[in-house]
Amino acid sequence: MPDPSLDVLAIGNAIVDVIARTDDEFLDAERLIKGTMRLIDAAEAERLYGRMPPGVEASGGSAANTVAGLASLGLRTGFVGQVADDQLGEVFGHDIRALGVDFRTPPRNGEVPTARCLILVTPDAQRTMNTFLGASQFLPPHALDEAQIEAAAILYLEGYLWDPEQPRAAMEKAIAIARRAGRKVALTLSDPFCVDRHRDGFLGLIERSAIDILFANEIEIKSLAQQEDLEAAVAAVAMRVPLLVVTRSEEGALAVRGSERADVPAEPVDQVVDTTGAGDQFAAGFLAGQTQGRSLEQSLRMGAIAAAEVIAHYGPRPEADLKALMATSLARA
Amino acid sequence: MPDPSLDVLAIGNAIVDVIARTDDEFLDAERLIKGTMRLIDAAEAERLYGRMPPGVEASGGSAANTVAGLASLGLRTGFVGQVADDQLGEVFGHDIRALGVDFRTPPRNGEVPTARCLILVTPDAQRTMNTFLGASQFLPPHALDEAQIEAAAILYLEGYLWDPEQPRAAMEKAIAIARRAGRKVALTLSDPFCVDRHRDGFLGLIERSAIDILFANEIEIKSLAQQEDLEAAVAAVAMRVPLLVVTRSEEGALAVRGSERADVPAEPVDQVVDTTGAGDQFAAGFLAGQTQGRSLEQSLRMGAIAAAEVIAHYGPRPEADLKALMATSLARA
């Protein structure tokens, strides 16, 4: 295989976020569980939107946010995801291409609109997400560009994509292509409910050694391992994947690679405004560190720095130049 | 005439903003004049968008922003403006209705999309606006709801609406309805180039006493009066309108009503981030003060406080609860 021309190619939902500030009373009235993601249909999306405060629209999607962070860090990236041939699809495509990301998936024609995620941000900076998958759930396996996958050092997969049938098949196909080409495969578990829904699927991937790098937060890793105790969960999963990364919000993060382990604290933040995208940017920082051949600890620190940047403002993608930020922040330590 | 059921009804362009951070080099390369607004066609909108960095979408439009500020201040408001039957039109309609604004203008069917304004924000917090008017320029006079205009104490008009033919006719019709109903009419000059384009039209309105309250910034009032000297310009215009309000950015603002005059300094701001909407929110604060029967000086101060809030963050509409902010800020003085 030739040298990779992309550092990371991600496959994920192509979503435009609609971000609104709200309060706990609104979440209670709507019976929403704070901090989680739920899938909603078109009718519920229309109903909830009609009740929401004014919003701001910004390109989102978990893996797409990670790719945006990687691009800001100077890595060569690509993205695969399905938008519709509509205004929000144009917004998504513009925003990701403007970052220099290689995004080739053709927009889908038809009645089904581009995915949107109604994100309710409470004063405690927590985000509660209501995703209408729209066109995103119809990413067909044939939309994959085989050469693009073969050309990427790391294939990065979003756990959320396991929900709808066609993207799941696309992910399976992409894994097979990457494996054949001798590339690495990373997976993020995305959300505790997503792990609940697809525990067997994810464990199956791990069992057949399809995953080289697994990203999870504390709740997700416990759910995957069905272990109440964090260390027991980490131990159980770490013996099954070559590299495990676990984020723990304000408790920091850890990584285990064989017998090697690193722990880092969270990066200090003046004021946490909106935690949307924290995990996505952590993954970006960590993968950038690994791509640059840095140690586990340094890679974790890069993840923590990228996550700290994104939670200090509204919106799921970096506003600062992460490359410059990384240079100053890493030097300071 | 019965008591008004609305405090302010505004007619303006119904626009969704696309806000991106950029630098002076980009403005130079695109030959854009910093701090101004220019009208662009669909082809130029597509070309410029293709070159712009990633953006964030938020409902905008000058008079619509003012109405959002007035709603945040607890006033009863309505808005008239033309969107298309598309996703950005839904976003605009949702956002303004979610504020409690009475917005009844039916969306327009057809190929012409909802207006958008490509806003380039430079590190000095200046905004340079490129407006594709789309459906907004087709607001027809028959879309006006006569009873809604008669029911509003103040009809507030956006100078930008003088550019396209149909909204200009709608504005003229609305003025006639408001006048017959004994209501007040306010006009904002919007932009120095807009004044250049329509000096005779605006002076004509003033000459025939169609305007009770005129809002302008320093450059606009000088352009309208064709006077280099601010005080000379103020004197020339103030003798022709019952109430003149002039904003001067960091120099503060002044108002003249007959022989009465008030001057206020600008409200201090920790960090000016994005000046988009400063004039719009100043008008909101001032009109709220007038509606509440406050003095010229207090009304100007409310304008300055509302403007200070909006320039401290990205986006053209208030993020804070202006009513609460006003209570604390006015008490502090």
Cα–Cα dist B275/B35, whole Å: 9
Q: Give bridge partners of residue B206 from the DSSP assignment.
A: none
Q: Which residues contact B275 (CB under 8 A, 6 or more apart)?
A: B125, B126, B127, B249, B311
A17 vs chain B: nearest CA distance in angstroms? 10
- B222 and B232 in contact (C-beta within 8 Å)? no
Residue A27: band (very low, low, confident or very high) from pLDDT cuts 50, 70, 90: very high
* A99: contact with B, CB 8 A cutoff: yes
Q: Is A186 on the interface with B (CB under 8 A)?
A: no
Residue range B93-103: average pLDDT?
Answer: 98
A91 touching B (Cβ < 8 Å): yes
Tens digits of per-residue pLDDT, B132-150?
Answer: 999 999 999 999 999 999 9
Which chain A residues have a beta carbon less than 8 Å from that of B96?
54
What is the C-alpha separation between B83 and B107, in angstroms, rounded?
Answer: 5
pLDDT at B154: 98
Place of tokens 């594709």: B132
What is the pLDDT confidence band of residue B2, given thresholds at 50, 70 and 90?
A: confident
Model pLDDT, residue A289: 98
Phi then psi for residue A163, to 5 deg, are: -65, -60
Q: Does A47 touch chain B (CB under 8 A)?
A: no
Q: Which of A167-171, B69-73, B160-164 has the lowest mean pLDDT?
A: B160-164
Q: List Cα–Cα distances, A166 to A47, A136, A170, A329, A330, in angstroms.
A: 27, 10, 6, 41, 41
Q: Does the pLDDT of residue B333 top 70, yes or no?
A: no
Asked if A94's CB is within 8 angstroms of B319's CB, the reply is: no
Smallest Cα distance from B261 to chain A, Å: 37
- Domain containing A192 equals 6-13+61-112+134-332
Q: Which of A231, A227, A185, A226 is nearest to A209 (CA)?
A: A185
Side by side, the strands of the sheet bearing B213-217 are: B102-103, B77-80, B6-11, B152-158, B184-188, B213-217, B243-247, B253-257, B260-264
Residue A200 in domain: yes
* 3-state secondary structure at position B147: helix
Q: Residue B198: which CATH number? A: 3.40.1190.20
Among A67, A88, A94, the residue to mutate for chain B (most B Cβ within 10 A) = A94
- Closest residue in A to B52 (Cα) is A98
Percentages helix, strand, coil for chain B, rounded to the nearest 5?
45, 20, 35
Q: Which chain B residue's Cα is nearest to A96?
A: B54
Nearest chain B residue to A51 by CA distance is B98
B247, β-bridge pairs? B217, B253
In this complex, is the C-beta atom of B96 within 8 Å of any C-beta atom belonging to chain A? yes
Kindly report the average pLDDT of chain B as a whole number: 96
Interface check B50 vs A, CB under 8 A? yes
Q: Confirm or reject contact between A50 and chain B (CB < 8 A).
A: yes
Task: Quote the pLDDT of residue A230.
Answer: 98
B42: contact with A, CB 8 A cutoff? no
Range B116-138 average pLDDT = 96
Any domain includes B93: no
Tell whether the model's pLDDT for residue A3 goes beyond 90.
no
pLDDT digits (tens, 9 = 90+) for A169-189: 999 999 999 999 999 999 999
Chain B residues close to A132, C-beta within 8 Å? none
Name the residue among B146, B168, B134, B184 with its Cα closest to residue B8: B184
pLDDT at B332 over 80: no
Scanning every residue of chain B, which has its alpha carbon at the shortest distance from the alpha carbon of A85? B87
Nearest CA in chain A to B93: A54
Whether residue B302 lies inside any domain: the answer is yes
Q: What number is the average pLDDT over the span B120-129?
A: 95
Chain A interface test: which of B22, B77, B86, B95 (most A C-beta within 10 Å): B95
One-letter amino acid identity for B195?
A: V
Q: Is the pLDDT of residue B256 over 80?
A: yes
Quick one: what percent of chain A has pLDDT higher than 70? 99
Domain count, chain A: 1
Rounded Cα distance between A309 and B165, Å, is 47
Query: How is the beta sheet containing A56-59 ordered, strand by strand?
Result: A37-39, A127-132, A115-121, A15-21, A56-59, B56-59, B15-21, B115-121, B127-132, B37-39
Min CA distance, A327 vs chain B (Å)? Answer: 21
pLDDT of residue B3: 87
Which residues of chain B neighbour A319 with C-beta distances below 8 Å?
A: 21
A302 located within any domain: yes
Ranges A144-148, A289-293, B152-156, B191-195: which has the least confidence: B191-195
B317 touching A (Cβ < 8 Å): yes
Residue B76 placed within a domain: yes
Q: Cβ of B94 and A52 within 8 Å?
A: yes
Spatial neighbors of A292 by CB under 8 A, at least 6 apart, are none
Q: Choose, out of B56, B121, B273, the residue to mutate when testing the contact with A (most A CBs < 10 Å).
A: B56
- Please report the ipTM that was assigned to this predicted complex: 0.91
Question: What sections of B73-123 are H helices per DSSP?
Answer: 87-98
In a domain, A32, yes or no: no
- Least confident piece of the model among A150-154, A205-209, A271-275: A271-275
Record: contact A58-B59, CB cut-off 8 A: no
β A127-132/A115-121 pair status? antiparallel
Q: How far does the CA of residue B42 sit from the closest CA of chain A (Å)?
A: 14
Q: Do B253 and B230 contact (CB within 8 A), yes or no?
A: no
Note whether A312 and A325 are within 8 A (CB): no
Beta bridge partners of A19: A56, A119
Flag whether pLDDT at B1 surpasses 90. no
Asked if residue B55 belongs to a domain, the reply is no
- Tell me the sheet residues that pair with A243: A213
CA atoms of B299 and B215, how far apart (whole Å): 13
Q: Render pLDDT for B30-60 as a digit per residue (tens, 0 to 9).
A: 999 999 899 999 999 999 999 999 999 999 9
Shortest distance, CA A101 to any CA of chain B (angstroms)? 12
Q: Is residue B204 less than 8 Å (CB to CB) from chain A?
A: no
Chain A residues with beta carbon closer than 8 angstroms to that of B83 = none
Q: For A204-257, how does the pLDDT look when each residue is reduced to its tens digit (9 = 90+)?
A: 999 999 999 999 999 999 999 999 999 999 999 999 999 999 999 999 999 999
Q: What pLDDT is stored for residue A331 in this prediction?
A: 85
Q: Is B125 on the interface with A (CB under 8 A)?
A: no
To the nearest whole Å, the CA of B17 is away from the closest chain A CA by: 10
Give the pLDDT confidence of B204-213 residue by residue, as tens digits: 999 999 999 9
Instruction: Indicate the average pLDDT of chain A.
Output: 96
Q: Do B54 and A319 touch (CB under 8 A)?
A: no
Residue pLDDT, tens place only, A41-88: 999 999 999 999 999 999 999 999 999 999 999 999 999 999 999 999
| More reliable by pLDDT, A1 or B86 | B86
Min Cα–Cα distance to chain B from A134, Å: 14
Is B114 part of a structural domain of the chain? no
In this complex, the residue of B21, B55, B91 whose CB is nearest that of residue A95 is B55
A98 to B52: CB separation less than 8 angstroms, yes or no = yes
Task: Please give the pLDDT value at position A333.
Answer: 60
Kindly indicate the confidence band of residue A199, based on its pLDDT and cuts at 50, 70 and 90. Answer: very high
Q: Do B314 and B277 contact (CB within 8 A), yes or no? A: no
Task: Calculate how close chain A gets to B21, using CA atoms only, in Å.
Answer: 9
> Are residues A78 and A100 in contact, defined by beta-carbon separation less than 8 angstroms?
no
Mean pLDDT of the B244-257 span: 97
Which of chain A's residues have a Cβ under 8 Å away from the Cβ of B68?
A: 54
